[in-house]
Amino acid sequence: MIHSQPAASATRILAGLLEARTGQQIAPSRYWRIQTALAPILKTQGIPDLDALVAVLSDPENEKLLQESLDAMLNNESFFFRDTAMFAGLRAEAFPVLRERRAQRKALRVWCAGSSTGQEAYSVAMLFDSERDKWLDWKIEIVGTDISPSVIARAKTGRYSQFEIQRGLSVDFMLRYFAQVGEDWVVDPRLQAMVHFQEDNLLKPRADLGQFDIILCRNVLMYFAPETRHIAYSKLERSLANDGMLMLGAAETVMGHTDLFSATREMRGLYCKAVAGRTGQSIIPPPLL
């Protein structure tokens, strides 16, 4: 009982550091996650408890350890074809519209923001490849970004455990797009060639990613405070083509959070630009058919 108050203070400090650096919030009712997430670091570093960790992290010389600690606390939950109805909507409704809009240049750019260990980006690649005849001679580029260096490193390997490969993947797609190597499964090189992964922070000035025709930012902004969510929406708006589409998670919406995007009437979870921020001109993309 003597250490309960310092421990509570340490978890608040660590939660505050996480939010300040990444925008991701941890509710007080879930502060137990901090102890669980950081336990391996405490053991590896020989640090007795969270109070001692906070003291160590206060030294600017320990920036690397701070990054590792933040990385461990991030919520990196992901699996293949998460929210299957939304992927079905991409295939049946969004992609055909984008194919018509980009028919002249035959190029399409997709950004998976907060892509974690890569399952979402590879799921999008599988959607395109499974209908390869529709995308002949097209240049399809998928960019997956995340603030966590460790999950980006994992995503680049395209290597998943038996448990991970069974979450969301049909047997057909598992056998078609993955090869078993030892106890793990490795994604087909053809899909890896379609996807590029790199670190990016939605709260920092944008990396040189260019503009995208569709952005998936799913189950990311729900962890942000209103003020940081506004910063993220601004970055997403600047990164989206004027007639492009933004997809949020099933439990997320722009309503009441930003006026930079408006909902499409035809498809749940898809949003279009409300205005072109730099010119001030209204942009009303053609409705989804």
C-alpha 94: how far from chain center: 19
Based on the fold, state whether residues 48 and 94 are members of the same structural domain: no
pTM attached to this predicted model:
0.80
Is the separation of the CB atoms in 208 and 111 below 8 Å?
A: no
Based on the fold, state whether residues 211 and 89 are members of the same structural domain: yes
Based on the fold, state whether residues 268 and 138 are members of the same structural domain: yes
> Comparing C-alpha atoms, which of 238, 285, 280, 239 is closest to residue 266?
285
C-alpha 122: how far from chain center: 12
Based on the fold, state whether residues 16 and 141 are members of the same structural domain: no
Based on the fold, state whether residues 98 and 163 are members of the same structural domain: yes
Based on the fold, state whether residues 255 and 159 are members of the same structural domain: yes
Between residues 32 and 8, which one has the greater pLDDT?
32
Let me know if residue 113 belongs to a domain: yes
Q: Domain residues for 28?
A: 4-73
Based on the fold, state whether residues 66 and 125 are members of the same structural domain: no
Let me know if residue 287 belongs to a domain: no
Based on the fold, state whether residues 96 and 13 are members of the same structural domain: no
Q: Is the pLDDT of residue 288 over 80?
A: no
Let me know if residue 281 belongs to a domain: no
Based on the fold, state whether residues 177 and 235 are members of the same structural domain: yes
Task: Please give the tally of structural domains in the chain.
Answer: 2
Residue 275 is predicted with a pLDDT of 62
Is the separation of the CB atoms in 247 and 83 below 8 Å?
A: no
pLDDT digit string, tens, across residues 236-270: 999 999 999 999 988 778 877 888 998 887 667 79
- Residue after which a domain boundary falls, among 47, 73, 99: 73
Residue 10 is predicted with a pLDDT of 85
Based on the fold, state whether residues 164 and 256 are members of the same structural domain: yes
Based on the fold, state whether residues 35 and 106 are members of the same structural domain: no
Model confidence at 287, in pLDDT bands (50, 70, 90)? very low
pLDDT digit string, tens, across residues 124-153: 999 999 999 999 999 999 999 998 888 999
Q: Is the pLDDT of residue 168 over 80?
A: yes
Based on the fold, state whether residues 88 and 40 are members of the same structural domain: no
Largest CA distance in the chain: 70
pLDDT digit string, tens, across residues 1-31: 334 444 678 888 888 888 877 777 777 877 8
Let me know if residue 286 belongs to a domain: no
Model confidence at 283, in pLDDT bands (50, 70, 90)? very low
Which of the residue ranges 13-22, 34-43, 229-238 has the most confident prediction, judged by mean pLDDT? 229-238
Is the separation of the CB atoms in 142 and 196 below 8 Å?
A: yes
Let me know if residue 285 belongs to a domain: no
Let me know if residue 278 belongs to a domain: no
> Comparing C-alpha atoms, which of 7, 23, 72, 25 is closest to residue 44?
72
In angstroms, rounded to a whole number, what is the distance separating the alpha carbons of residues 57 and 66?
A: 6
At how many degrees (to 10) do helices 50-57 and 4-22 cross?
A: 40
> Comparing C-alpha atoms, which of 235, 192, 205 is closest to residue 217?
235
- Token look-up 């509710």 returns 27
In angstroms, rounded to a whole number, what is the distance separating the alpha carbons of residues 18 and 13?
A: 9
Per-residue CA distances from 276 to 17, 185, 213, 273 (Å): 34, 43, 15, 7
